Amino acid sequence: MSGQIGETSKAVLVISGHWEEREFTVMSSPQSPMVYDYAGFPQHTCSIT
């Protein structure tokens, strides 16, 4: 299926209800880090990347 769309994506938009801030917040970067939501999981799983 590769190549059927026509060109490589230039951006990806991800919207998450898990990011809580008091003000409207946008994170943007050419190489944004992954944000992991480990709430409720055992403490040792917080070190997994």
The answer to whether residue 4 is domain-embedded is no
Q: Is 26 helix (H, G, I), strand (E, B) or coil?
A: coil
> Which domain, by its residues, includes 42?
13-49
The answer to whether residue 2 is domain-embedded is no
Q: From first to last of the 49 residues of the chain, give the pLDDT tens digit.
A: 555 767 788 877 877 776 678 888 887 777 877 777 777 888 887 777 6
- Structure letter (DSSP) for residue 36: -
Comparing CA positions, the residue from 18, 24, 21, 23 lying closest to residue 37 is 18
Q: How many CB atoms sit inside 10 A of residue 42's CB?
A: 7
The answer to whether residue 5 is domain-embedded is no
pLDDT of residue 2: 55
The answer to whether residue 1 is domain-embedded is no
- pTM assigned to the model: 0.33
Structural domain count of the chain: 1
The answer to whether residue 18 is domain-embedded is yes
pLDDT of residue 3: 57
